[in-house]
């Protein structure tokens, strides 16, 4: 799971940099670009589906 988180963070970092470059000027703060990038990536990500929860018995 840590690998997935690192991958997600790298995707956000790359997207935030792209957004910053596209702005042409350094308007806004790094946090604003980061949040915009995070929101865009989360919107693009497929929803995580979980299967049925099964009860595990120790008997």
Percent of the chain at pLDDT exceeding 70 = 64
The whole-angstrom distance between residue 37's C-alpha and the CA centroid of its chain comes to 8
CB 41 within 8 A of CB 12: yes
The whole-angstrom distance between residue 16's C-alpha and the CA centroid of its chain comes to 11
Region label for 52, one of left (φ > 0), alpha (ψ between -120 and 50) or beta (otherwise): beta
Mean per-residue pLDDT for 11-31?
88
Q: Is the pLDDT at 59 greater than 60, yes or no?
A: no
């Amino acid at each position: 799971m840590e690998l997935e988180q690192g991958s997600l963070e790298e995707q956000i970092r790359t997207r935030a940099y792209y957004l910053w470059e596209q702005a042409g000027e350094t308007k806004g703060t790094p946090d604003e670009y980061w949040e915009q990038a995070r929101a865009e990536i989360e919107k693009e990500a497929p929803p995580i589906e979980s299967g049925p929860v099964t009860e595990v018995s120790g008997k």
